[in-house]
Amino acid sequence: MATAYEDLMERVRDIGRLQTSLALLDWDQETYMPPNGVKARAEQIALLSGIRHTQLIDPQVKRLLDEAQTDEDDHVARTNVRETRRNYERAAKLPTQLVKDLAHTSTLAKDAWAKARAQSDFSIFSPLLSRLLELTRQKAEHIGYSAEPYDALIDEFEPGATSAQIEGVFARLRDETVRFLKRLTDSSTKPDRSILTRHYPEQQQRALSRKFAEALNFDFESGRLDVTVHPFCTTIGGGGDVRITTRYLEDFFQAAMFGTMHETGHALYEQGLPREHMFTPMGEAVSLGIHESQSLMWENQVGRSRAFWEHHFDEAARLFPKALGDVSLDAFYGAINTVEPSFIRVEADELTYNLHVILRFEIERELFNGQLEVDDIPQRWNVKMEDLLGITPPDDAQGCLQDIHWSMGAFGYFATYALGKLYAAQFFAKAKEDIPDLFDRIRANDHKPLLNWLRENIHRHGQRFRAGELVERVTGKPLTIEPFMSYVKNKFAPIYGL
């Protein structure tokens, strides 16, 4: 006879199967679904979201949680019960109709956002954004919070984190970033970034993007690479079906190359989670911040390193002879590591990227604290861009409409990008200690040592540890901005002659 724990896990796995079915519908909408399918897709996603929610809050789940017996030494069972209880308690506070309304509205909103961005017209998106905000405020009130509504949303993506805690980290990060940015800006030595805006044919970009994903050990037998407006990674069937997307801009080399490496980093994490625990918390990622640490590490610490391009630059020059035929490795390395305020977050350099995230964090917080109205977002966005980065977007497509997240209803998500930068730097510093010849291996196009290190120290644990605990266990220190600031200073100072 099955135990309460075994019965509970079978229910949890069914809920996980529904969630990945929803992910498949979402992936299809972003890649191959015809435009006129959006209304039916909204109804499909709302229906499955309601069924998933109903299954999660079934009284039998609560009964099984109360009856499940776990051995003190069985960390798998204890993790699964702890995280299932957390998921149940959050979900049980939400009316199923609200869950369905959010799913339905966000599906329509993603379509409206894509049209608004294409036309750079915020008014196309604002009605559905207003509706999403209204529904998400209801969600925050149902879940509850001790200090402010935004905390209930942040906790979904970075469990245990609060607005006040993140604000404290971001204040130090902002001050240090602005201070170092001024030194770089004032330097008379600057790379030639225009190299990246020459003509790079899409066909060759596709070949190189795939080659990079393969080099980083993305398993194409367990995943695929497609094209979307906004790159993302999604898991359809545990580590056996992980899908990534990218976008190709023929006049900007970085978009596809580093976008692909970023999403590959996400995918490597998903492919490295223990498959024997698929559809349960032990087979899922710790948090979005930790997830971002994996993508950002492969994109930046590896993909933007000189060692990586010492191996790959000659091939890039062969594929793009008109764009790179007269460019040296030194010039190219400087170009991909240019620090310069820019409008688009996903195209920002490693240093100013965090200022983009801080801007979004502050705007979202103002929205949920009642300090900002939806119609005022474009103006507020531009004011903050000028304040933090010293530039003003020429239109909304390059301003408040650039990211898909709000149309997804993913409020509380953005902070995890900057947290991920900090986690990545701290993890990578430790990896270099543990793998003394790490850059030699990268130079030789051998990324297995780093991947194996990540699998051993991070991936295999699933949700066993909270993000803060995981960082301290792996690196011996709590999260701090110092490893990141040390990394960017050591990298950019020589490029800028400091």
Q: Catalytic residue positions?
A: 263
Backbone phi and psi for residue 412, each to the nearest 5 degrees, phi listed first: 105, -5
Strand partners, 246: 227
- Cα–Cα distances (Å) from 33 to 29, 40, 46, 174, in that order, read 5, 11, 17, 41
Say how far apart CA 93 and CA 143 lie, in whole Å.
Answer: 6
Going by C-alpha positions, the residue among 311, 307, 306, 319 that lies closest to residue 256 is 319
- Sequence-separated (6 or more) residues with CB below 8 Å from residue 212: 257, 260, 261, 264, 303, 312
With contact defined as beta carbons under 8 Å apart, do 440 and 138 qualify? no
433 burial type by CB count under 10 A (0-12 exposed, 13-18 middle, 19+ buried): exposed
Say how far apart CA 455 and CA 54 lie, in whole Å.
Answer: 34
Say how far apart CA 256 and CA 464 lie, in whole Å.
Answer: 34
Going by C-alpha positions, the residue among 186, 170, 120, 41 that lies closest to residue 493 is 186
**Tokens of residue 206, six digits:** 């596709």
Say how far apart CA 355 and CA 177 lie, in whole Å.
Answer: 8
Say how far apart CA 474 and CA 483 lie, in whole Å.
Answer: 14
**Tokens of residue 215, six digits:** 């080099």
- Sequence-separated (6 or more) residues with CB below 8 Å from residue 453: 431, 434, 435
H-type alpha helices, 297-376: 306-319, 321-324, 329-336, 353-368
**Strand runs labelled E in 155-299:** 223-227, 233-235, 242-246
With contact defined as beta carbons under 8 Å apart, do 213 and 260 qualify? yes
Say how far apart CA 83 and CA 89 lie, in whole Å.
Answer: 10
Length of the chain equals 498
CA 213 from centroid of its chain's CA atoms:
17
Start-to-end C-alpha separation, the chain: 70
With contact defined as beta carbons under 8 Å apart, do 229 and 210 qualify? no
**Tokens of residue 412, six digits:** 């509380």
- Sequence-separated (6 or more) residues with CB below 8 Å from residue 449: 435, 438, 441
